[in-house]
Chains A and B, each alone.
Chain A
């Protein structure tokens, strides 16, 4: 219920602002909805949303898997931490735009370049978060696992992974929002499809209803994935915790 109310308030503010600003700057909700419906009917909306989602999924998975592995290694092995740390600081502070432009220059305007650039942007935050998680692993439980001679897979699944899962959830949450932001820039600069490409077209034509139609559809998808995938995962991972606020 509170969610619906906050959505209604958003619509109301938009409508009032549209009346005050005029159609040319901010079209009212029905106009944008109309464009959205037209784009949906022609199939363009789903095509572009799908292209963007596929890039997000690939880049996100790639960055999470690599980031988790590197982060775990850096948290457990001192030498790896020492070797990796300067690279990590460099990557953390490298602007996304630089990575994307360089990727397109070196690998051409290709899908591989786009996905790699997005993944490289997300990678360091995943590494940092998982490194903290690996450092915080409980040595007492480690001893328990080795006294009882738990097989490696069992130890990973029952002892290590549950301790890392809050960190994985945090990395996924912050990483996903980062990927949502960067994927559109990568598409705008060098892809012939996707939400970012459509927004680029709308910008060149100054077609504000089209721009809003794609932005809002995209925002809706993000919200949907957060509530249907990320939040349930977090709730499940922390179900053993005595309930906090």
Chain B
């Protein structure tokens, strides 16, 4: 089980007919059980990259090697639930094979037990995200893709949801790919942080985190975080001069 990503280039044609380079060259590979985090500024092409990885966008230069027939769990930036189906049905439609006990456990962890029969239109963004997470985990994915799962939530809620995601990730061995612009989330959830440049995206640095997620203390988290911040802010030219 291995995900190999080699995107040599991706261009967009705007409505006005101009060509825009979105991705300049991104190559990395993830093994089973590994959680990679893509960190980069807004609009650097992270979401585009995820769509290519999931096979939604075949129009790019390069190559993606996914395990054949791998089940994908995808948490989109907007929850993308079916508004005309209940919370439970939304999960069951994506994961028809999931058994009741497993779903109950999932709803328990994500605090959705009281909302099984609600329609998505009756949920707050935080709850709708949780449903999208439940759906992605219910399919028992071999490849889990999370696109900014904590964006536009208040800090306390984001922290709680992040812990819940960590619990779910620990409960299953799969390849996880998370996209975020928040270094703190990246360090707390990932095993490897891949830093991306502004558009067109290139890899600036690939930082492995050796301590397992559950064993990371606050001090260590802070240390890794400052290391990453240094890499983001420090320009290579300055380092050459010193």
- For residue B137, CB closer than 8 A to chain A, the reply is no
Nearest Cβ distance between residue B145 and chain A, in whole angstroms? 8
Nearest Cβ distance between residue B125 and chain A, in whole angstroms? 15
> Contact at A158–B74, with CB atoms within 8 Å?
no
> Which residue of the partner chain, among A147, A154, A242, contacts B93 with CB atoms under 8 Å?
A154
Known: A146-B56, A147-B54. A158 touches B93 (CB 8 A): yes
Which residue of chain B lies nearest to A159 when distances are taken between CB atoms in the complex? B82
> Contact at A148–B94, with CB atoms within 8 Å?
yes
- For residue A141, CB closer than 8 A to chain B, the reply is yes
> Contact at B93–A144, with CB atoms within 8 Å?
no
- Chain A residues, Cβ within 8 Å of B121: 240-242
Contact with A along B48-67 (1 / 0, CB 8 A): 00010011100000000000
> Contact at B85–A158, with CB atoms within 8 Å?
yes
- Secondary structure of the A contact surface, majority rule: helix
Q: Pick from B55, B84, B121, B122 the residue with the most CB of A within 10 Å.
A: B84
Known: A148-B72, A240-B121. A162 touches B96 (CB 8 A): no
Q: Pick from A144, A149, A158, A242 the residue with the most CB of B within 10 Å.
A: A144
Which residue of chain A lies nearest to B96 when distances are taken between CB atoms in the complex? A154
> Contact at B94–A240, with CB atoms within 8 Å?
no
Q: How far is the CA of A149 from the CA of B51 in the complex (A)?
A: 14
- For residue A140, CB closer than 8 A to chain B, the reply is yes
- For residue B83, CB closer than 8 A to chain A, the reply is yes
- For residue B76, CB closer than 8 A to chain A, the reply is yes
Nearest Cβ distance between residue A159 and chain B, in whole angstroms? 6
List residues 124-153 of chain A with CB under 8 A from any CB of chain B: 140-141, 143-144, 146-150
- Secondary structure of the B contact surface, majority rule: loop
Nearest Cβ distance between residue B157 and chain A, in whole angstroms? 23
> Contact at A149–B71, with CB atoms within 8 Å?
yes
- Chain A residues, Cβ within 8 Å of B82: 141, 158-159, 162
Q: How far is the CA of A68 from the CA of B85 in the complex (A)?
A: 23
- Chain A residues, Cβ within 8 Å of B122: 242
- For residue B78, CB closer than 8 A to chain A, the reply is yes
- Chain B residues, Cβ within 8 Å of A148: 72-74, 94-95, 135, 139
> Which residue of the partner chain, among B74, B78, B83, contacts A240 with CB atoms under 8 Å?
B83
- For residue B160, CB closer than 8 A to chain A, the reply is no
How many B residues are at the interface, by size bracket? 20 to 34
- Chain A residues, Cβ within 8 Å of B83: 240-241
- For residue B172, CB closer than 8 A to chain A, the reply is no
Which residue of chain A lies nearest to B79 when distances are taken between CB atoms in the complex? A144
Q: How far is the CA of A241 from the CA of B51 in the complex (A)?
A: 29
> Which residue of the partner chain, among A143, A150, A240, contacts B56 with CB atoms under 8 Å?
A143
Q: How far is the CA of A162 from the CA of B84 in the complex (A)?
A: 7
Known: A147-B54, A154-B93. A141 touches B72 (CB 8 A): no
Nearest Cβ distance between residue B101 and chain A, in whole angstroms? 21
Known: A144-B74, A241-B121, A242-B122. A150 touches B80 (CB 8 A): no
- Chain B residues, Cβ within 8 Å of A150: 93-94
- Chain B residues, Cβ within 8 Å of A140: 76, 78, 80
> Contact at A144–B85, with CB atoms within 8 Å?
no
Q: Pick from B72, B74, B82 the residue with the most CB of A within 10 Å.
A: B82
Known: A148-B74, A150-B94, A154-B93. A240 touches B119 (CB 8 A): yes
Which residue of chain B lies nearest to A143 when distances are taken between CB atoms in the complex? B56
- Chain B residues, Cβ within 8 Å of A149: 71-72
Q: How far is the CA of A241 from the CA of B96 in the complex (A)?
A: 25
Which residue of chain B lies nearest to A241 when distances are taken between CB atoms in the complex? B121
Q: How far is the CA of A64 from the CA of B139 in the complex (A)?
A: 37
- Chain A residues, Cβ within 8 Å of B94: 148, 150
Complex A-B: 12 CB contacts under 8 Å: A143-B51, A144-B74, A144-B76, A147-B54, A148-B135, A149-B71, A150-B94, A158-B82, A159-B82, A240-B85, A241-B83, A242-B121
Closest 7 pairs between A and B when the two form their complex, measured CB to CB:
A162-B84, A240-B84, A148-B94, A147-B74, A144-B80, A240-B119, A158-B93
Instruction: Give residues in A with beta carbon < 8 Å to B.
Output: 140-141, 143-144, 146-150, 154, 158-159, 162, 240-242
Given contacts A143-B56, A143-B76, A148-B139, 5 further A-B contacts (CB under 8 A): A144-B76, A148-B135, A159-B82, A162-B84, A242-B122
Instruction: Give residues in B with beta carbon < 8 Å to A.
Output: 51, 54-56, 71-74, 76, 78, 80, 82-85, 89, 93-96, 119, 121-122, 135, 139
